[in-house]
Amino acid sequence: MNDSPPPLYRFLAPRHWPMWTGLAFLRLCALLPYPLLLLLGNSLGLLMYALVPSRRRIAATNLRLCFPEQDDAARAALVRATFRSAGMAVMENALSWWGSERRLRRLHRIEGLEYLQAARAQGRGVILLGSHYTTLEISGRFLALHTDGLQPIYKRAHNPLYEAMMVRMRKRLFDDLLQSTDMRTIVRNVKAGKTVWYAPDQDFGRERSVFAPFFGVPTATLTTTARLARLTGAPVLPFVSQRLPGLQGYRIALLPALEDFPSCDDLRDATRTNALLEQQVRTMPEQYLWIHRRFKTRPEGAPDLYRR
């Protein structure tokens, strides 16, 4: 088990008051009716679009690289839709942390649960291969309603108060929470039969990465997925979450376990998982987290794609 987060009374100094205000606001938002919650999130996303031009440029660059067939107007509309989706994600985080189980069960449907049950029946742990959709946080809450022993892998937050609150809330909802840097514990827990949820689609630099295509762009892609499967013998099940239109809630889809995975070729494995992600993102591009610098690390000699 990972260490417990520090007690919240350690964060009473004035420098933490803005974050406390934000957390209190989210706690109140979790009480709102679902349509109003998403409307507020949509407005928050548009405010972020207006106030954070650096992230707007990052999203525009990513979409230009990944959807070159679209004209400028279509990509500009997709950038705005991406920010609206990110704003909704903030509100969904509040619902994930503080919403009741009864309320959450009414808001989603799950497909492919039989694949997870079959994988668990093998008597080994399971690796759920997720991605950074804007619905990432709330989809974890939905998954926890359908499987025991679910343990997300996460990256530490920069703000210490938010980190402490996030860990506290997630540990209340999940079997445990695993730091991405603690590979020894991750391997041990998978071998012990836990279901580990992992989203490797961010740029962590050259270390333990290969350059595999993602939307045709050579992309620094972690080899950790294949490495973890190799060390544990656990099946890898891709996992997709989608916010449905018209206030219909959410669709959670578990796909069949990857066959012949991992291979002996890290580039081949990374190319395969990137292709799976690309296929899903193309069906709902506005719900992917385009506001992070996915293509920050470049092959030797390649130009910086985000330079102004």
Cα–Cα dist 170/84, whole Å: 24
- Relative to beta strand 250-254, strand 236-243 is antiparallel
Nearest to 146 by CA among 30, 278, 258, 241: 241
pTM: 0.93
Measure the CA angle with vertex 21, ends 15 and 26; round to 5°: 140
pLDDT in tens, 154-169: 989 999 999 999 999 9
Whole-angstrom distance, CA of residue 8 vs CA of residue 220: 37
Q: How many C-beta atoms surround the C-beta of residue 150 within 10 A?
A: 21
Residue 308 pLDDT class (50, 70, 90 cuts)? confident
Q: Please state, in angstroms and rounded to a whole number, the distance separating the CA atoms of residues 302 and 241.
A: 33
Beta partners for residue 260, in sequence order: none
Convert the pLDDT of each residue in 201-235 to its tens digit. Answer: 999 898 889 999 999 999 999 999 999 999 999 99
Q: Model confidence over 182-210: pLDDT tens digits?
A: 999 999 999 999 999 989 999 989 888 99
Facing residues of 111 across strands? 253
Q: What angle do the packed helices 136-144 and 72-98 form, to 10 degrees?
A: 40
